[in-house]
Amino acid sequence: MWTSTAEAPILLVGAAHVVDLEPALRRLLRDRPLDGVAVELDDERARALLAPPETAPGRRGRVPVVLRLWGHLQRRLGEEMGGGVAGAEMVVAARIAQERGVPLLLIDDPIRETLPKLLGSLSLRERLSLVVGSIVGLFVPARLVQRQLDRYNEAPAPFLEEVRSAYPGLARVLIDDRNEHMARRLGEARGRGVGRIAAVVGDAHVPGLVAALARRGIPTEAVPLRELLERATAP
């Protein structure tokens, strides 16, 4: 194995927010020594997901329409595709951290900082495309979404290049910038002695995080979504 936890690679686990990954995650982490579990959440979203508070009166009106539409779409697809609550994989990761008695590391940017950056970075065309896509998505059957997920799993890099071409501002703010910030926070955790980390993040973040951590001299081990799904069905 490793002579010290500081030499252990960070395990990057690619997840999808509308797919039930609990059996696969538990199988993957069952025998792996861990000093901490990291998740793609900030403090506010972690509180909402792990202990959902009652919605404050009037709060809905302050949430951008695109975010409300995407939230509704994720909840519907999560139910139809067997994943239950959107973000369930983050809940599972938090439970594993609690069961193991190791810290849960929240490595994502605060949503209240990300949203203004995102909206400010989008061109008019990108904004209109996102709104139209969100509205159309409300009526898209889950089987079509599953088809796109399968297409992504077969060739992640070309799929993400299509996203970058269609939404360059979105890709920069939601993927590239956050990759750098999450890598920095993982590095800071290593500096505090939390060496053996399993980080559960959206699958699109895995390649960028591998590169960002490599630039910091931190070794990684990646389990992309495709491999994780294979583990779920393995005997």
Q: How confident is the model at residue 6 (pLDDT cuts 50, 70, 90)?
A: low
100 or 159: which leads in pLDDT? 100
CB atoms within 10 A of CB 16: 21
CB atoms within 10 A of CB 2: 12
* Distances from the Cα of 177 to the Cα of 19, 54, 130, 208, 212, angstroms: 25, 31, 20, 10, 10
pTM of the predicted model as reported, rounded to 2 decimal places: 0.76
Task: State the average pLDDT over residues 7-28.
Answer: 87
Sheet holding 10-15, edge to edge: 104-106, 36-39, 197-202, 10-15, 220-223
17 or 214: which leads in pLDDT? 214
Total count of residues recorded for the chain: 235
Cα separation of 213 and 187, whole Å?
A: 8
In this predicted model, what pLDDT tens digit does every residue of 38-90 receive, in sequence order?
Answer: 999 988 888 877 875 444 444 444 444 444 444 544 454 444 444 455 578 88
Q: Which of 119, 104, 95, 97 is nearest to 42 (CA)?
A: 104
Question: 13-17, 85-89, 169-173: lowest mean pLDDT where?
Answer: 85-89
What integer pLDDT is reported at residue 145 of this predicted model? 47
28, pLDDT greater than 50 = yes
Question: 125-129, 138-142, 228-232: lowest mean pLDDT where?
Answer: 138-142
13, pLDDT greater than 90 = yes
Cross-strand pairs, 201: 14
22, pLDDT greater than 60 = yes
Largest CA distance in the chain: 54
CB atoms within 10 A of CB 185: 17
